[in-house]
Amino acid sequence: MIPSSFRPLAQAVRIPAAIALFAVLGGCSFFGGGPTKPQPAELQPVTALVSARQVWTTRVGQVNFPLETGVSGSTVAVASGDGAVALLDAQTGRDVWRLALNTPLAAGAGNDGKVVAVVTKANEVVALQDGRELWRQKLGAQAFTAPFVAGSRVFVLAADRSVNAFDGQTGRKLWAQQRPNEPLILRQSGVMLAVGDTLVVGLAGRLAGLNPANGSIRWESPIATPRGINDVERLVDLVGRVSRQGDVVCARAFQASVGCVNAARGNLLWTKAANGMQGVDGDDRFVFGTEADGNVIAWRRADGERAWTTERLRYRSLTAPVVVGRSIAVGDFAGYIHLLSREDGSLLNRLPTDGSAIAATPVLVGNTLVAVTHNGGVYGFQPQ
């Protein structure tokens, strides 16, 4: 039976089966060498056309892994590379609880409002609640995607294309689903979310719908198909975050395409070529994304045709966007949060942090925009 709470809802490393994992650092190519890196666009003076103010700040420690900030209700879970994990009240920035695991992290932080889950570099998934460790379990391969916590379960997508489900309170393994390995995958956050009673997971260039009760696959739909003559050219992993509106989930395949799938039926609605490394967000009209060269693009949600493009943030190593009121917010390598118009990409405001790169895609928690920097600063802003 599906739990009722589920419904609402560059460096190479070798692991078994000769899978290589590449680190993706901001907007930089992972090939190294080659032509001189293009210079980032200079920031022009901005007139604040939407109001936004910093309302709190706190610290978590340096972030040197693919952090995802887990949102549930009015709380947000954050973590540092050295294993500090905190559940924060997003309205005030105060700790609900904080715990030092004292072990380096590779992925996190999943959050359902009660349980927070992370993955250590020692290949262990660790579940925390009320500032204490509930359990930890060894994984068969490293994970770079934050665990997904829902329906009293913890789901983990690992680097060997396996999906594992654990009981949220005891850590007992409930099931595992193993898919064929591709030669290369990314050391970057992938895709896991719930749509109705289906667990939707990114497996290589495909979205797959799994039964969360037993891991059986209900459907698969390709966002991108591997092409090219070598393993690097054929790399098409899906990267988080995604944009969901009702049953429709839109996602990005790394440096290949952006596409939308009806997750209730499992059919592909459209896919368009795109050259980005970060995930997407959207509203009922558009899907927004940042390309590898710093262009910000809006695609029409209905058919994938481009609505607008802006080049004002080229080569600034942008995060994925997040929709905030009548703006979209993107972070850059210098610690700025840029608020762009959802209608045409024009600049509406710019918010500074501590000068280090924005380390995770900003998230909206209620009316608070939360951003985490590489140096460990956590900032809460209240935009219009």
10 confidence band (pLDDT: 50, 70, 90): very low
Report the pLDDT value the prediction gives residue 243, as an integer from 0 to 100. Answer: 97
Give the DSSP H or E segment for 70.
strand 70-72
Q: What is the pTM of this model?
A: 0.90
pLDDT of the residue at 179? 77
pLDDT category at 229 given cuts 50, 70, 90 is confident
Distance CA(1)–CA(280), nearest Å, equals 32
**Residue 149, H or E segment:** strand 148-150
Q: What is the pLDDT of residue 204?
A: 87
Q: What is the pLDDT of residues 53-93, one digit of tens each?
A: 999 999 999 999 999 999 999 999 999 999 999 999 999 99
Percentage of the chain lying above the pLDDT 90 cut: 81
Mean pLDDT of the chain: 90
Q: For the chain, report the end-to-end CA distance as a whole number of angstroms.
A: 42
Residue 35 confidence (pLDDT) above 80: no
Provide the residue type at 154 as one letter.
V
At residue 17 the predicted structure's pLDDT band, cuts being 50, 70 and 90, is very low
Residue 182 has a pLDDT of 66
Q: What is the mean pLDDT of residues 33-59?
A: 89
How many helices, marked H, and strands, marked E, lie in the chain? 0, 35
Pairwise CA distance, residues 378 & 384, whole Å? 20
| pLDDT at 383 (0 to 100) | 87
Put the strands of the sheet holding 19-23 in their side by side order. Answer: 14-15, 19-23, 184-187
Confidence of residue 34 (pLDDT cuts 50, 70, 90): low
pLDDT > 80? residue 189 = yes
In angstroms, how far is CA 133 from the centroid of its own chain? 24
- Which stretches does DSSP call E strand in 246-341? 248-253, 257-262, 267-273, 280-282, 286-290, 296-300, 306-310, 322-324, 327-331, 337-341
Q: What is the Cα–Cα distance from 243 to 260, expressed in whole angstroms?
A: 9
Tokens of 168: 């949220």
Summarised one tens digit per residue, pLDDT across range 94-127 is 999 999 999 999 999 999 999 999 999 999 999 9
Which residues, 6 or more positions from 30, have their beta carbon under 8 angstroms from its beta carbon? 10, 22, 23, 24
**Domain regions of the chain by residue span:** 4-30+54-383
pLDDT at residue 9, as a whole number: 36
CA 251, CA 241: separation in Å to the nearest integer?
Answer: 7
The DSSP line for 199-213 is EEEEETTEEEEE-TT
User: pLDDT band for position 187 (50/70/90)?
Assistant: confident
In this predicted model, which residue has the larger pLDDT, 373 or 240?
Answer: 373
Q: CATH topology for 4-30+54-383? A: Methylamine Dehydrogenase; Chain H (2.130.10)
Q: What is the mean pLDDT of residues 264-283?
A: 96
Compare 30 and 285 and report the one with higher pLDDT: 285
Give residue 22's pLDDT: 47
| 183 — pLDDT class (breaks 50, 70, 90) | low
